[in-house]
Amino acid sequence: MDILSVLEDKKRKKALTKEQIEFFVRGAADGTLPDYQLAALLMAIRLNGMDARETADLTMAMARSGDMLSPQVGGVPVDKHSTGGVGDTTTLILAPLVAACGGKVLKMSGRGLGHTGGTVDKLESIAGFRVSLPEEEFVSIVRRVGCAVVGQSAQLAPADKRLYALRDVTATVDSIPLIVSSILSKKFAAGARAIVLDVKAGSGALMPTVEASIQLAQAMVDIGAHAGRSVIAVVSGMEEPLGSHVGNALEVREAIDVLAGRAGGPLKTVSLFLGAQMLVASGVADSEEAAQKMLAEALESGAGLRKLKEMITAQGGDSAVCDDPSLLPRAPYIRPVIAKTAGYLSHVNGTALGLAAQRMGAGRVRKEDPIDPAVGFVMEKRIGDRIEKGDVICTLHAKDETSAREAESRILDTLTLSPDPAPRARLLYALITPKGVTELCQ
């Protein structure tokens, strides 16, 4: 078998055999296939798709391309994954909250992908925080603390690690088979038995429509059932940044503020809903109502923030940032963006807004690009807000005046003001389980 025959078949829209899929996944994992051939195959998959059988075969081949953990953590190992968005910092809130309620959160996260932020990049803005841990230490921290968040190790799903980086720089991010296999292969390899997926829909999501997001969610739930894992999915809105802070250290700051009771809003609402699903899926709570009560008590008592401090300390980070967020990296140039006209904020181009943060240095254009943890912006207005001329729309945190000026232009171009009142963006659309789709009304 050779890669050219695999490329030829997918170029001509043929379904790849299980053997062909295992061949190219093995070549991605062991380095025998070069980036340019893998990139060509990723584009062929993006353009011509994969059927359900191909996607399931790809997922399992990627999961088995390295170690497969079966961790003993004193409970059901649970993970949560978002398909990506802007200002989406739910992991840093719900992981410690779920752990504070008795859950065992075994979280493997990724770096930024396209216009979306990455949890690993965010955590690395905390001095000393280690996202690369030996598998034994990763499991030990979950057993002892209740939660740990790491990046992909060389041993877990190595094929995905390489393909993930290539997707980021080859415009192949928005492919359902590639998204499904990337997400679930990591979860299966890391040993999660219960998985909650947050599938975003809207202008800042990989899937721009609710219908496409439900299709993606159903594909992942189906493959989870096929693999014997408890997988449920939530379709949530990404018409604008979920939190107000966009940028790595800025998003860590906002997560700390939520856990400390200083901030709320959509980020808190979605985090608590996802956290409740995690507690139910892992058997810690017997109903969503009981789970919501447990999470509210952990938030009110400060147990969630204390658990975040425990996790940061266990992973080598400076947990003092939880008491003093000013210890996080700070940009040297901070200034407001002022509204030039009045109106109601009726639409946000979420993808373009995420790319504005990327161009400031909060994300990568090339896979080898460094991240500036301090840069980004804080949105002061949300969809539905009335904006007067001269109001502060957002606050820029930039490396210099030139970067700030470019970011201001890009951000203003992402916003649409209308003379008439506009409705608030919807937060939650649907809950997908093996039993079907339930519409949500928030």
CB 416 within 8 A of CB 396: no
pLDDT digits (tens, 9 = 90+) for 323-375: 999 999 999 999 999 999 999 999 999 999 999 999 999 887 776 778 999 99
pLDDT digits (tens, 9 = 90+) for 204-241: 887 778 998 999 899 999 988 888 888 999 999 999 99
The active-site residue out of 57, 121, 160, 372 is 160
Structure tokens at 415: 């916003």
pLDDT at 152 > cutoff 90? no
Q: What is the pLDDT of residue 248?
A: 95
More confident residue, 190 or 309: 309
Please list the residue range(s) of the chain that carry CATH number 3.90.1170.30.
Answer: 330-418
So what CATH class is 77-325+427-439?
alpha beta
The active-site residue out of 10, 46, 186, 381 is 186
The mean per-residue pLDDT over the stretch 133-156 comes to 90
Q: What is the pLDDT of residue 114?
A: 62
Number of Cβ within 10 Å of residue 154's Cβ equals 11
Which superfamily does CATH assign the domain made up of 3-49 to? Transferase, Pyrimidine Nucleoside Phosphorylase; Chain C (1.20.970.10)
pLDDT at 425 > cutoff 90? yes
Q: How confident is the model at residue 71 (pLDDT cuts 50, 70, 90)?
A: confident
pLDDT at 437 > cutoff 80? yes
- 138-142 CB contacts, 8 Å cutoff, 24+ apart: 138/106, 139/69, 139/71, 139/72, 139/73, 139/106, 139/191, 141/311, 141/314, 141/315, 142/71, 142/73, 142/77, 142/104, 142/105, 142/106
Beta strand spans in 151-229 (E)? 194-201
pLDDT digits (tens, 9 = 90+) for 108-126: 887 766 677 788 999 999 9
pLDDT digits (tens, 9 = 90+) for 388-408: 999 999 999 999 999 999 999
The active-site residue out of 10, 81, 104, 397 is 81
Q: Is 30 an annotated catalytic residue?
A: no
Which of 3.40.50.300, 3.90.1300.10, 3.30.70.100, 3.90.1170.30 is the CATH number of 330-418?
3.90.1170.30
Q: Is 347 an annotated catalytic residue?
A: no
pLDDT at 442 > cutoff 70? no
The active-site residue out of 167, 193, 200, 245 is 167
Q: What is the pLDDT of residue 50?
A: 94
pLDDT at 268 > cutoff 80? yes
Q: Is 81 an annotated catalytic residue?
A: yes
Q: How confident is the model at residue 414 (pLDDT cuts 50, 70, 90)?
A: very high
Closest CA to 180 of 193, 163, 204, 155: 163
Q: How confident is the model at residue 174 (pLDDT cuts 50, 70, 90)?
A: confident
Please list the residue range(s) of the chain that carry CATH number 3.40.1030.10.
Answer: 77-325+427-439
CA trace torsion 369, 375, 380, 383 (10° rounding):
0
Percentage with pLDDT > 70 across the chain: 99
Please list the residue range(s) of the chain that carry CATH number 1.20.970.10.
Answer: 3-49
The active-site residue out of 182, 185, 244, 319 is 182
Cα 415-213-432 angle, rounded to 5 deg: 130
Q: What is the mean pLDDT of the chain?
A: 93
